[in-house]
Structure 1
Amino acid sequence: MGVPYVGVSAIMAIPFLSQLTSRTPANPAYIPEITTGSDHVMSFSERVIHFSTCLLYLVLFNLVVDPTKELRAQHGLDSSIFCEDAELFLINTHFALDFPRPLLPNTRTVGGLTTGPGRPLAMEWIEFLESAGEDGVVLFSMGSYATGIDEGVAGLFAGAFAQLPQKVIWKLNGKPSATLTPNVKVVDWIPQNDLLGHPQIKAFVYHCGMNGVWEAVYHGVPMVAVPLFADQYDNAQRLVSRGMAVKVDITTLTSSELAQAIHTVISDPSYKSNATRISAILRDSPRTPTEEAVDWIEYVIRHDGAKHLRSAALDLNIFQYLLLDVIAVLLLAFITFMIILYCSCRLCFRGCKRLYSGSSKVKSE
């Protein structure tokens, strides 16, 4: 249609996709790839595994996804399913939590779009929070996708909450198939950002979906990270790296381990201190994430796009971008030179050998 558009990511930047869609540099030596759960400081073996993962992603994308681009264009379908033609990229990240990395001028960070000061809570919530006393309340949610939970996992969570002196708000669509102790309140909806802003919330047990992570960071709430899939492992690692969360493995988790993890983040003051510090960094900005996003969208409208921010690398295919064609030519030139040098040396050696043999015969005669 020729209308400029802005690409928006609901998660943090995916390094290999950023390289392909906006040509953003992503060195796998220190920029963790999605689903790896890696930190930005890696051992040699971790870097080997991480590099192999990045290479696999790039190969699969170029072999499976990219070849369909021309076919989609022929049939009038959107040929830029990963926003390759976007004028601007808005990424749901902030370096208060994310690992530092290079970004191009047409990429802007707007992490925390759903965050903000907590609004006044309904009396029902106020009464429950205040009834918890000094022990406070633990907020537990597995996100909007957790529509149900099997009996074994429900029993695991219920068993952990039974060991806590705190009260628990459990966000769950449906009834848990487990016996609950009186300190647990099960609801199918919560005003999550508003609850996290209340001082009675002492810890947030969460699957690490991106929006909830930013809300917890904004309000400085320590977390127990229970990642389930996709980018959640990476989000959890960032929280652990910043010292504001404990990460647990749902596949091996027991009630006692979960209760101990919750106790740790509440009783150890370093977790709250780190959460408060990261919160201060996130908030320390002249513009809110929403204002920042609006500013740049209006910028694109005013200038009928943002071509001047676009990298020329986008006009290169993956072989040109990685200089594989240049490397191949230089390698061929080097091999050719070495062959010529070898042949020249061999001819010189043979000539010298013949000359030496001829002079030796003359002397002997």
Structure 2
Amino acid sequence: MAHIGLLCLGATGHLNTMFPLGHELQQRGHQVTVLSTPDVYPKARVAGFNFCNIYTTIDRQSTSKFTPSTKLVTLTGINRTFQNFAHYAEVRLQNTDLIREQGLEALLVDLSVFEGGTIAEHLDIPYITICCILPFYQDPTIPPIATTWAYNLAWWAQMRNRAAYKLFNWMAQPVLQVISRYRQQWNLSAYQHPNDIFSKLAIITRHIPEFEFPRQLPPHFHFTGSFHQAIAREPVAFPFEQLNGKPLIYASMGTLQNRSTVVFQTIAAACADLNAQLVISLGGGLEPQAFSDLPGSPLVVKYAPQLELLQKASLNITHAGLNTTLESLSYGVPMVAIPVTDDQPGVAARIQWTGSGELVELSQLSVSKLRGAIARVLTEETYQQNAVRLQAIMRQTKGVHRAVDIIEQAVFTGSPVTD
């Protein structure tokens, strides 16, 4: 049996991806250590994992702000995020000795930890890339995941994609330069392309090919299916007795980009005249008392048991985080996506492309535009049919079990897993 480290960000969506893998590894007799921010420690201990704080040179307040909540709909916001990534990459690389002291034999590296592969190479242990967000494996036939651009093979679209990748790679230079400096210091070969940060043994994403644009990916890239039912979540109190039996619309903007009162007010106004009950989960960003007079009197809670509500929902209004999107599809629930940041625009583009929902740009959000999208998804049967089609495909996958099969094969053979 092996001692395997989970090197990941501390955000909920990342933990909800990595922890099921850790749980399944433990079930198979492996030892698991989580390498993350101090705020993750209580969650790791409850899950039964060992824990290592690799942010010892940063105060607790700054680590709690690790995942940027800036709206990355502007180039300034994207640039600021890369600056933050560079800072935290420096800290993690400085603390590599702390990781060495754990005696790890392999690493599962969160894709958003750009320098994770460099750390593993320096420690001379194998690593597998885990895509906690939509994979940003660069391919000029595919729009960058930070855009809502539709899939299009026209020559002009591919030129647009190339230009966008070139711009994003330029903005990523601060973090890439930090990584390059440590690779040179540790006598590791220089990266020649941004795709070089991915593992050469295995890359794992928990969505399915049918939810991805047609594209060429390396043979060791694996779609395994969702992990969301693989580990129990902390119970969340919810007033189920207040559900009135009408069709349920569940709305959540996630747990990070969820502080815009205007977005929640717009959602409420767009749903106010529908023969449906709206439940809004604030994700901890705001207090329900601030929304006591919303149009239509929706049920507003600070946190919600998302999986339980999705099982009852007719529609999911979402920020298009990959976790929430896959959870919605796993219950055959169509969506209206309002993407904010990170990979959410790309996820929303795939929701629209698969016909499992509609996309409303945050910059164009209005009551009338959102109401129109909601009406189409609720009344046109094709949206639910497509969501149910994807649900059926996801049910045929082995999810976390397949993912850990791949991990074990990569760790024990030291060879790329291509089947």
| Offset, 1:309 | 5.1
Distance (whole Å) between structure 2 residues aligned to residue 157 and residue 77 of structure 1: 53
* Structure with bigger gyration radius: 1
SS at match of 1:15: coil
Asked whether 1:296 is paired with 2:406, we answer yes
Q: Counterpart of 1:298 in structure 2: which amino acid?
A: E
- Residue 207 of structure 2: aligned partner: 93
- Residue 220 of structure 2: aligned partner: 106
- Among 256, 263, 287, the alignment partner of 1:145 is 256
- Residue 162 of structure 1: aligned partner: 272
- Residue 245 of structure 2: aligned partner: 132
Distance (whole Å) between structure 2 residues aligned to residue 216 and residue 224 of structure 1: 11
Residues 241 and 73 of structure 1: CA distance in aligned 2, closer, same or farther (over 3 Å): closer
Computed over aligned residues only, the root mean square deviation of the Cα atoms, in angstroms, reads: 3.2
SS at match of 2:364: coil
- Residue 326 of structure 2: aligned partner: 214
- Residue 181 of structure 2: aligned partner: 71
- Residue 136 of structure 2: aligned partner: 14
Residues 146 and 66 of structure 1: CA distance in aligned 2, closer, same or farther (over 3 Å): closer
Equivalenced residue count is: 287
- Among 188, 191, 194, the alignment partner of 2:302 is 188
Distance (whole Å) between structure 1 residues aligned to residue 165 and residue 258 of structure 2: 33
- Residue 41 of structure 1: aligned partner: 152
Distance (whole Å) between structure 1 residues aligned to residue 176 and residue 362 of structure 2: 35
Distance (whole Å) between structure 2 residues aligned to residue 211 and residue 71 of structure 1: 34
| Offset, 1:49 | 1.6
Deviations 1:138-182 (A, max 9, x none): 0000001145333x4443233223222211110013133461256
1:15–1:32 contact (8 Å) kept in structure 2: no
- Among 266, 272, 279, the alignment partner of 2:384 is 272
Gaps of 5+ in 2: 1-122
- Residue 283 of structure 1: aligned partner: 395
- Among 165, 185, 191, the alignment partner of 1:54 is 165
- Residue 32 of structure 1: aligned partner: 143
2:257–2:340 contact (8 Å) kept in structure 1: no
Residues 71 and 250 of structure 1: CA distance in aligned 2, closer, same or farther (over 3 Å): closer
- Among 348, 366, 369, the alignment partner of 1:257 is 369
Q: Counterpart of 2:406 in structure 1: which amino acid?
A: W
Residues 181 and 54 of structure 1: CA distance in aligned 2, closer, same or farther (over 3 Å): closer
Identical positions, percent: 25
2:200–2:220 contact (8 Å) kept in structure 1: no
Deviations 1:84-117 (A, max 9, x none): 5553221243112111222223222234222579
Residues 182 and 248 of structure 1: CA distance in aligned 2, closer, same or farther (over 3 Å): closer
Residues 147 and 77 of structure 1: CA distance in aligned 2, closer, same or farther (over 3 Å): farther
1:158–1:178 contact (8 Å) kept in structure 2: no
1:118–1:196 contact (8 Å) kept in structure 2: no
Deviations 1:253-282 (A, max 9, x none): 222322232122111111111111121122
Residues 147 and 264 of structure 1: CA distance in aligned 2, closer, same or farther (over 3 Å): closer
| Offset, 1:55 | 3.4
- Among 217, 222, 226, the alignment partner of 2:338 is 226
Q: Taking structure 1 as the reference length, what is the TM-score of the superposition?
A: 0.69
Q: Taking structure 2 as the reference length, what is the TM-score of the superposition?
A: 0.61
SS at match of 2:316: strand
Gaps of 5+ in 1: 17-25, 311-365
Deviations 1:21-68 (A, max 9, x none): xxxxx3x2x32322232222244433332222133345565x655454
Q: Counterpart of 1:4 in structure 2: which amino acid?
A: P
- Residue 318 of structure 1: aligned partner: none
